[in-house]
Amino acid sequence: MSGAGPPVWAEWLLERLLPARDRETVGGDLREEYEEFVAPHLGRLRANVWYLRQMISFARRCMQEGGTMTKLLAVSSVITLLCGCWLALMECLLRHPGFEARAAVALLVAAAGVATLLVRFLHAGVRRERWLWTVAVALMGLGVFSFARNARAAHFEGFVFIISIVLVVQGLLMLTTLGRHSGPGRIVARA
């Protein structure tokens, strides 16, 4: 079978999930399997699902390759993402005065979680960005601010306490795991 191969975005994503050594060979093997065997037998839609399943199996492999800190970072990123989404949803539902700004901040927190996960898995070319450090410091600042404000508030709210701790942990893990500055505008990746 010739013509359309796997989805272009999926191939692009897979190539960035894989270490440089396997990028060409594994991508080629999966494309060959997709075109010669899977798509003719299963049809295009189910073949695309098959391709996604293979991608996930490599994501798990990437996850297993990192150290404990990197795994912790992936877990904390998911928690940060969920916290951000939940906070934004609650702000939109309750609609207290000034909820728009707080919902926007909550969505930014969720975006930071997504961005960290992407950096963790798509390790090509993004480690050199300074914005990682900025995001990490911003998350920690937001966490400390929320913690202090909650501590001074008349009603101590447990979920705000938990989320503020999550943000500080996320920021610390980002600073220690994703990379370190070795000069102006350059970050060296850590194993």
Partner 1 sequence: MPLGIFQLTRTQIYVYIVGMADLMGTFELSVLLAILRLGDRAYGRAVLHQVQESLGRSVAAGAVYTTLDRLEQRGLVHSKLAAGTAIRGGRARRYYAATAHGSRALTEAKETLTKMWQGVKLPVAVKP
Binding stretches for partner 1 (CB under 8 A): 2, 5, 22, 24-33, 35-36, 53-54, 56-61, 64
Smallest gap from Cβ 30 to partner 1, in A, equals 6
Smallest gap from Cβ 9 to partner 1, in A, equals 15
Nearer residue to partner 1 within complex by CB, 27 or 129: 27
Nearer residue to partner 1 within complex by CB, 38 or 168: 38
Q: Are 32 and 71 in contact (CB under 8 A)?
A: no
With 0-12 CB in 10 A as exposed, 13-18 as middle and 19+ as buried, what is 170?
buried
Q: Under the phi-then-psi rule, with left for phi > 0, alpha for psi from -120 to 50, and beta for the rest, what region is 149?
A: alpha
Nearer residue to partner 1 within complex by CB, 70 or 146: 70
The rounded distance, in Å, linking the Cα atoms of 133 and 113 is 14
Nearer residue to partner 1 within complex by CB, 27 or 102: 27
Cα distances (angstroms) measured from residue 7 to each of 37, 55, 145, 187: 16, 12, 44, 32
Single-letter amino acid code for the residue at 135? V
Smallest gap from Cβ 26 to partner 1, in A, equals 6
Nearer residue to partner 1 within complex by CB, 36 or 157: 36
Smallest gap from Cβ 54 to partner 1, in A, equals 5
Smallest gap from Cβ 169 to partner 1, in A, equals 29
